[in-house]
């Protein structure tokens, strides 16, 4: 594939990737700094958010470099004549971060041990299946049957995840307080909306005839998806963790005292 | 655009960018180190300052590299013949940092929940509108009508932000102590003065005929603006947070004792 992009097209993708790097880096610092505002028993969710944005930060640094190296500026436009852009970074990233993201949501709810384990196992398996099945289609020809077939195969675990979040998780929510229930409810709809960005970006090469436009749409779509699904999702999980900390009687004002006590015991 | 800069012109911009990198890096370390001097309930403002300078540090490292790569030294002067200088970094930076800066100021005041939310939403929307409307003008021809039109469009949310800070915020200040009121008052005037640097830098290519001089004025102007609006602004917010911590009876002197205790035990 020898893609030629206008300066504006190349830079839109380039700056989107840079935007994601800045967002992930800021989110990483933020999650590290606000840990103490959450009661110790709810900190695992924040820990997982921290890992997610750290992993994504690493991958976007690589993605950014790979994108820059793949193109050469010829004085007026960008020609793809370097090493091919490595799409693999995204799939490796998702393989690690999507199970962690789903775990964030499950862990912060503090369900029974059995329920938590069962949800984690099933969501992790479904997430991995979704990503592995998407990959062969992603790298196949835009108009090939293969792309369509793998897309549909990948959508089955995707829909299963949504079924678990909306069906099964709904029942578990009854034990939560009204505040938490409302927050989780909002979070599920955000998952629904933001996760829909990914299949749309995936399908861009199928539905957009102009190759350059399709590539830009796909890359920018994935970048937006990752910012919403990782740092923003993490912020909402943090909101749930803080609400539950307050309900447990954890007073962030006493934070320093708590921290000291913890350090003494550790 | 094939700009040719004298050695002095090129280096003035180059060294200004390096100055900003050093300032942002130092501010990042400083804000991380002084966190504990502020009562836990006032730390969110410091957290936001930390994020702002971290994001700006990242962008100025990129801006610096982009500037260096755009020019070649031909023995006597610098000719812009490499990849175009990426102006996009600034706008991505502002898109993230300006809402955070405004949030710093709102959060440190500890107004009522409703008031805080309303201010945050309106200031964030206005800040994003201001930056997005500025962008098309920034990349259009210096003498074009487009540049002027986008500039004016961008000034509307800019003026709205100033209206909120001076009009509405003024009323909320009545509940603050005299010390805090004085500090916030000073801060608002600093916002007024420093934020005026940005439109002036923006307009440099319109009012300065010599292309090279205009470009240098614009880049140095933005660099000065960013140093005053981010680390210096953060210092003033820190001053407010410390004043409020003292008023709440938080004794930073006891903090050190805690810190020592921690060190001894770890």
CB contact under 8 A, A15 and B41: no
What does the mean pLDDT of chain A come to?
Answer: 90
pLDDT the model gives residue A169: 80
What does the mean pLDDT of chain B come to?
Answer: 90
pLDDT the model gives residue B86: 93
For residue range A38-52, list pLDDT tens digits in order: 999 999 999 999 999
Interface of A with B in 153-212 (CB under 8 A): none
Give the Cα-Cα-Cα angle B28, B34, B37 (nearest 5 degrees).
Answer: 155
Q: How far is B25 from chain A (nearest CA, A)?
A: 14
Contacts of B51 in chain A (CB under 8 A): 26, 29-30
Contacts of B62 in chain A (CB under 8 A): 18
Contacts of A15 in chain B (CB under 8 A): 86, 88-89, 91-92
Interface of B with A in 227-256 (CB under 8 A): 255
Its pTM stands at 0.91
CB contact under 8 A, A19 and B54: no
pLDDT the model gives residue B262: 47
Residue A110 has pLDDT above 80, yes or no: yes
CB contact under 8 A, A29 and B35: no
pLDDT the model gives residue A59: 98
Q: How far apart are CA B101 and CA B94, in angstroms?
A: 10
Q: How confident is the model at residue B252 (pLDDT cuts 50, 70, 90)?
A: low
pLDDT the model gives residue B258: 52
Q: How confident is the model at residue B253 (pLDDT cuts 50, 70, 90)?
A: low
Residue range A113-123: mean pLDDT, rounded: 94
Q: How far is A23 from chain B (nearest CA, A)?
A: 8
Q: Which of A7, A15, A260 sits opposite B92 (nearest CB)?
A: A15
For residue range A235-255, list pLDDT tens digits in order: 999 999 999 999 988 876 544
Q: Does A65 touch chain B (CB under 8 A)?
A: no
Contacts of A18 in chain B (CB under 8 A): 59, 62, 88-89, 92
pLDDT the model gives residue B198: 92
pLDDT the model gives residue B32: 96
Contacts of B50 in chain A (CB under 8 A): 29, 33
Q: What CATH number was assigned to the domain covering residues B4-249?
A: 1.20.1070.10
Q: How confident is the model at residue A1 (pLDDT cuts 50, 70, 90)?
A: low
Contacts of A19 in chain B (CB under 8 A): 92, 95-96
Residue range A117-134: mean pLDDT, rounded: 95
Residue A127 has pLDDT above 90, yes or no: yes
Q: How far is B138 from chain A (nearest CA, A)?
A: 14
Assigned token pair, B193: 């003065």
Residue count (chain B)? 266
Q: Which of B47, B95, B266 sits opposite A30 (nearest CB)?
A: B47
pLDDT the model gives residue B243: 93
Q: Does B84 touch chain A (CB under 8 A)?
A: yes
Q: How confident is the model at residue A8 (pLDDT cuts 50, 70, 90)?
A: very high
Burial B61-89 (b: 16+ CB within 10 A, else e): bbbbebbeebbeeeeebbbbeebebbbbb
Residue range B234-252: mean pLDDT, rounded: 90
Q: How far is B167 from chain A (nearest CA, A)?
A: 31
CB contact under 8 A, B41 and A253: yes
Q: How far is B112 from chain A (nearest CA, A)?
A: 17
pLDDT the model gives residue A259: 44
Residue range B7-36: mean pLDDT, rounded: 97
Q: How far apart are CA B104 and CA B95, in angstroms?
A: 15
Q: Does B2 touch chain A (CB under 8 A)?
A: no
- DSSP-derived secondary structure for chain A: ---EEEHHHHHHHHHHHHHHHHHHHHHHHHHHHHGGGS-GGGHHHHHHHHHHHHHHHHHHHHHHHHHHHHEEE-SSEEEE-SSPP-THHHHHHHHHHHHHHHHHHHHHH---HHHHHHHHHHHHHHHHHHHHHHHHHHTS-TT-HHHHHHHHHHHHHHHHHHHIIIIIHHHHGGGS-HHHHHHHHHHHHHHHHHHTHHHHHHHHHHH--SHHHHHHHHHHHHHHHHHIIIIIHHHHHHHHHHHHHHHTT--GGGHHHHHHHHHHH-
Residue B117 has pLDDT above 90, yes or no: yes
CB contact under 8 A, A73 and B58: no
Residue range B66-92: mean pLDDT, rounded: 93
Residue A187 has pLDDT above 90, yes or no: no
- Residue with structure tokens 């015991």? A265
pLDDT the model gives residue B48: 97
CB contact under 8 A, A14 and B88: yes
Interface of B with A in 6-35 (CB under 8 A): 35
Q: Which of A15, A73, A256 sits opposite B258 (nearest CB)?
A: A256
Q: How far is B200 from chain A (nearest CA, A)?
A: 25
């Amino acid at each position: 594939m020898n893609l030629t992009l206008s300066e504006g097209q190349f830079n839109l993708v380039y700056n989107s990737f840079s935007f994601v790097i800045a967002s992930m880096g800021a989110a990483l610092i933020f999650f590290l700094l606000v840990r103490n505002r959450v009661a110790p028993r709810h900190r695992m969710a924040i820990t997982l958010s921290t890992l997610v944005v750290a992993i994504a930060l690493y991958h976007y640094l690589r993605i950014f470099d790979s994108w820059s190296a793949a193109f050469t500026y010829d004085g007026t436009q960008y020609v793809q004549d370097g090493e091919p852009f490595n799409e693999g970074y995204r799939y490796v990233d998702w393989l690690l971060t999507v199970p962690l993201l789903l775990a964030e949501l499950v862990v912060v709810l503090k369900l029974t041990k059995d329920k938590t384990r069962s949800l984690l196992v099933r969501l992790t398996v479904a997430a991995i299946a979704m990503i592995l099945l998407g990959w062969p289609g992603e790298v196949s020809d835009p108009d090939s049957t293969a792309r369509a077939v793998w897309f549909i195969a990948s959508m089955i675990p995707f829909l299963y995840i949504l079924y678990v979040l909306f069906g099964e998780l709904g029942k578990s929510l009854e034990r939560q307080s009204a505040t938490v229930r409302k927050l989780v409810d909002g979070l599920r709809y955000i998952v629904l909306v933001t996760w829909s960005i990914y299949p749309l970006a995936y399908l861009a090469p199928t539905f957009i005839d102009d190759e350059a436009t399709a590539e830009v749409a796909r890359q920018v779509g994935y970048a937006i998806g990752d910012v919403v699904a990782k740092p923003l999702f993490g912020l909402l999980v943090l909101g749930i963790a803080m609400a539950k900390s307050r309900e447990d009687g954890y007073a962030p004002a006493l934070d320093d005292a708590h921290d000291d006590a913890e350090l003494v015991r550790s």
